[in-house]
């Protein structure tokens, strides 16, 4: 580098000029500073490159985790939804005491309704006897689930725990790979005992499950997917399905919870997590260029003090010459300032006018947004009401159909058993009278007497006389209990009544309690304090659904054993029903939201959040009121109030 480059010129007077050479120490220090700047900027640039690459890795992994979460959530929801069909079939089997008429038609509807299911099977005593659809599944008929050593582990586990288990994946006898959910069914064998009936089985083919959860439909083809589980016997990782290579080395993982186990959905980016090598190369070259430019700028800045010392001397003379003209400019600036202040006042006035106009527009916009929010809330309310109405209609039709189908054979069975009782009473009476006549005959034949006693002892006639009438009475009592259940179903569905009518709320409560006896079971202790109530005008099916929603909410709030108290009383202008439970209570921050549509504190897939919302809006449409009092850990109390009669403004649709 030519050292004359650092020479400076000084113009302190007139035309005199002199040139000075910079000293060597200054030159050496300048070079050292420039090199230091170059290295510092280069290191900072490389740090930025590393940070950008790390951000790319985090972004790609976040996108992959979002994809895994989406597909994993869909997969888990599909498994839960598909396996819920087994609970519905098990409930029908328990209700029919092991008999299920019309299984093929019902299972066909369930396959369309639940989705993702390949087949539904019934296995009395562990042996598959019924399959829908039968086509393609013929080889599975007669298969003994408990005797198959390769597949009976989950079956015995379900039998021991009395819970739904998920087995597989494994190759089906009818071809294909699937997972199988097995739910053991126990039906009443006596007053307090249950016997094992068999299994309700839902077969979910892996291909159907993947299709329902949208796996394998990544149009951009950016990721590789693999669905794994830990084998319960060997403890090794088993690949259920993979979109490409079976083993992913550097993948993000999303857990998928299934009955009696957990799957893992792995996602890995095909092109790797880091930025492309070409991009990294260009960024490094950019960092080198920026470091070189920074060093050049540092050189220019560091040599400025020497250059400025000469420039200051030259400009001092120019400033003296400009001082005189500055005085003139000050006066002109003062005049301009006066004019500027006038302009500022005018501008401030215009700003105030514009501000007022904006406030008016903002108020109008706020009102419009409030109206839009009201319409959105109304739409959500209407949607929840429509959904609940459809559910109520379906439940009513099902209850009415089941009650009708049971009521017909129940009538002639009750009649035949009653006639049988009269025949047995007559037969026993006749045998007694015949025995008395034979005993009165003289002289009695010892041989005939001995033969008669031997015959009576062989058939145990004395025990039959004592036990058979009691057996007939027990049978008639059981038939009466079934008849009461059928009548409760008919009352709950209100199949023989109009929608709007005057009803006794205690009668509606009795029909709901009859239907919900299974929900209470032995763990719920029910206490009642009811007054005689006058009839109220209401939509009986809707009011029955309101009471059922309140009772079901109380049952679900109780962990383990607990108490539910029901109270009815007459008010000045209507009637009141109170439902109290000893459950976990409601947190204060949730009290204001429990009647909102779709709000629920339960786990995903276990509740829709519509029960209390629908109850609230049905009661409001009846001109009534529903309130709640609760503290965490001390249960909750829901109070329902209805007027005696509805006014003309009530919406009866």
* Final residue of a structural domain among 249, 269, 289: 269
Strand order in the sheet with 194-205: 130-132, 119-124, 194-205, 177-188, 165-171
Task: Reply yes or no on whether the pLDDT at 12 is more than 50.
Answer: no
Mean pLDDT of 340-347: 86
What's the pLDDT score for residue 536?
92
Domain final residue, candidates 214, 244, 269: 269
Whether cis (ω within 30° of 0) applies to the bond prior to 169 is yes
Q: Determine the pLDDT at residue 651.
A: 56
DSSP at 456? H
**Site of tokens 């921050």:** 589
Asked which of 322-336, 408-422, 532-546, 581-595 is least confident by mean pLDDT, the reply is: 408-422
SS3 label, residue 340: helix
Strand, helix or coil for residue 126: coil
Residue 95 to residue 197: CA distance in whole angstroms:
12
**210 assigned to some structural domain:** yes
496 confidence band (pLDDT: 50, 70, 90) = very low
The pLDDT score that the predictor gives to residue 489 is 56
Greatest Cα pair distance, the chain, in angstroms, is 177
Euclidean distance between CA atoms 30 and 40, whole angstroms? 15
Q: Kindly provide the b/e burial profile for residues 139-169, where b requires at least 16 CB atoms within 10 angstroms of the residue's own CB.
A: ebeebebeeeeebbebbebbbeeeebbbbbb
Indicate whether 402 belongs to any domain: no
What's the mean pLDDT in 588-617? Answer: 70
Q: What is the pLDDT of residues 169-209, one digit of tens each?
A: 877 666 678 888 899 999 887 667 788 899 999 988 888 77
Q: Is residue 354 in a domain?
A: no
Give the C-alpha separation, 348 to 339, whole Å.
14
Q: To 5 degrees, how large is the angle CA 397–CA 401–CA 405?
A: 175
Q: What is the pLDDT of residues 562-582, one digit of tens each?
A: 999 999 999 999 999 999 999
Asked whether residue 275 is assigned to any structural domain, the reply reads no
Which one of 344-358, 448-462, 537-551, 557-571 scores highest in mean pLDDT? 557-571
| Residue 526, SS3 per DSSP | strand
In order of 333, 351, 354, the CA distances from 342 in angstroms are 14, 14, 19
Domain with residue 241: its CATH number is 3.30.450.350
Closest CA to 264 of 75, 58, 62, 77: 75
Residues of the domain holding 551: 497-653
Distances (CA, A) of 25 to 21, 22, 31, 81, 183: 12, 9, 10, 83, 91
Q: Among the three residues 269, 296, 317, which one is the final residue of a domain in this structure?
A: 269
Closest CA to 199 of 121, 285, 259, 271: 121
Cβ atoms within 10 A of the Cβ of 578, count? Answer: 17
Instruction: Give domain status of residue 502, yes or no.
Output: yes
Query: Is the pLDDT at 156 greater than 90, yes or no?
Result: no
In a domain, 560, yes or no: yes
Q: Is residue 310 part of a domain?
A: no
Res. 235: pLDDT tops 80: no
Length of the chain, in residues: 653
In terms of Cα–Cα distance, which of 521, 513, 517 is closest to 561? 521
Q: How far is CA 452 from the centre of its chain?
A: 73
355 in any annotated domain? no
Convert the pLDDT of each residue in 430-474 to its tens digit: 777 776 776 666 555 677 777 777 777 777 777 777 777 777 777
Give residue 14's pLDDT: 42
- Distance from C-alpha of 222 to C-alpha of 322, rounded to nearest angstrom: 70
d(CA 382, CA 583): 31
Antiparallel, parallel or unpaired: β 177-188 and 165-171: antiparallel
% of the chain exceeding 90 in pLDDT: 9
Tell me the pTM. 0.40
Using one digit for the tens of pLDDT, what is the confidence trace for 51-82? Answer: 888 888 888 878 888 888 888 888 888 888 88
By C-alpha distance, which of 130, 95, 150 is closest to 202? 130
Window from 64-73, 523-532, 598-607 with minimum mean pLDDT: 598-607
Residue 182: which residues within 8 A CB-CB, separation 6 or more?
A: 86, 145, 154, 155, 158, 164, 165, 167, 199, 200, 201
Q: Within 10 Å of residue 645's Cβ, how many Cβ atoms?
A: 13
Percent of the chain with pLDDT over 70: 80
CATH of the domain at 580: 3.30.565.10
Domains contained in the chain, number: 2
User: What residue ranges in 473-595 does DSSP mark as E strands?
Assistant: 500-503, 524-530, 536-539, 562-570, 574-581
């Amino acid at each position: 580098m030519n050292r004359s480059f650092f020479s400076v010129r000084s113009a302190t007077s007139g035309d005199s000029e002199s040139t000075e050479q910079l000293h060597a120490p200054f030159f050496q220090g300048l070079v050292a500073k420039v090199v230091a700047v170059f290295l510092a900027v280069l290191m900072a640039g490389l740090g930025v490159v590393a940070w950008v690459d790390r951000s790319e890795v985090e972004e790609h992994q976040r996108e992959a985790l979002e994809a895994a979460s989406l597909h994993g959530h869909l997969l888990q929801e599909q498994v839960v939804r598909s396996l819920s069909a087994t609970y519905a079939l098990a409930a029908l089997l328990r209700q029919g005491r092991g008999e299920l008429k019309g299984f093929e038609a019902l299972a066909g509807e369930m396959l369309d309704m639940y989705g993702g299911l390949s087949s539904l099977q019934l296995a009395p005593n562990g042996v598959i006897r019924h399959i829908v659809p039968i086509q393609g599944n013929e080889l599975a008929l007669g298969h003994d689930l408990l005797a198959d050593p390769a597949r009976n582990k989950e079956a015995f586990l379900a039998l021991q725990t009395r819970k739904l288990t998920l087995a597989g994946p494994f190759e089906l006898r009818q071809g294909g790979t699937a997972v199988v959910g097995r739910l053991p069914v126990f039906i009443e064998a006596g007053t307090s005992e249950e016997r094992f009936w068999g299994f309700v089985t839902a077969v979910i083919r892996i291909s159907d499950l993947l299709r329902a959860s949208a796996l394998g439909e990544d149009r951009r083809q950016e990721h590789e997917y693999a669905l794994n589980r830990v084998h319960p016997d060997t403890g090794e990782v088993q690949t259920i399905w993979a979109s490409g290579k079976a083993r992913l080395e550097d993948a993000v993982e999303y857990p998928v919870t299934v009955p009696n186990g957990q799957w893992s959905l792995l996602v890995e980016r095909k092109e790797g997590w880091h930025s492309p090598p070409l991009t990294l190369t260009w960024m490094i070259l950019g960092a080198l260029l920026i470091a070189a430019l920074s060093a050049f700028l540092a050189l220019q800045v560091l040599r400025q003090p020497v250059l400025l010392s000469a420039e200051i001397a030259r400009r001092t003379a120019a400033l003296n010459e400009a001082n005189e003209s500055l005085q003139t400019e000050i006066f002109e600036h003062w005049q301009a300032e006066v004019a500027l202040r006038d302009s500022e006042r005018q501008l401030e006035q215009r700003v105030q006018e514009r501000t007022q106009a904006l406030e008016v527009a903002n108020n109008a916009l706020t009102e419009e947004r409030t109206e839009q929010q009201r319409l959105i809330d109304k739409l959500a309310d209407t949607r929840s009401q429509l959904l609940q109405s459809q559910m109520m209609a379906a439940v009513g039709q099902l209850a009415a159909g089941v009650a009708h189908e049971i009521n017909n054979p129940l009538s002639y069975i009750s009649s035949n058993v009653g006639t049988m009782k009269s025949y047995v009473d007559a037969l026993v009476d006749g045998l007694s009278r015949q025995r008395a006549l034979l005993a009165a005959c003289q002289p009695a034949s010892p041989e005939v007497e001995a033969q008669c006693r031997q015959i009576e002892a062989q058939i145990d006639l004395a025990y039959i006389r004592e036990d058979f009438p009691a057996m007939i009475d027990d049978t008639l009592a059981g038939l009466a209990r079934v008849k009461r259940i059928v009548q409760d179903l008919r009352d709950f569905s209100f199949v023989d009544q109009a929608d709007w009518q005057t009803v006794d709320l205690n009668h509606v409560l009795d029909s709901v309690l009859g239907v919900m006896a299974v929900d209470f079971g032995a763990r719920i202790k029910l206490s009642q304090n009811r007054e005689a109530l006058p009839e109220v005008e209401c939509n009986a099916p809707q009011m029955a659904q309101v009471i059922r929603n309140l009772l079901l909410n109380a049952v679900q709030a109780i962990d383990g054993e607990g108490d539910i108290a029901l109270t009815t009383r007459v008010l000045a202008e209507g009637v009141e029903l109170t439902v109290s439970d000893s459950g976990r209570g409601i947190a204060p921050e949730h009290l204001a939201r429990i009647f909102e549509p779709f709000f629920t504190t339960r786990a995903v897939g276990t509740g829709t959040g519509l029960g209390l919302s629908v109850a609230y809006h049905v009661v409001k449409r009846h001109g009534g009121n529903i309130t709640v009092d609760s503290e965490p850990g001390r249960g909750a109390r829901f109070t329902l109030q209805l007027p005696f009669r509805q006014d003309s403004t009530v919406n009866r649709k």
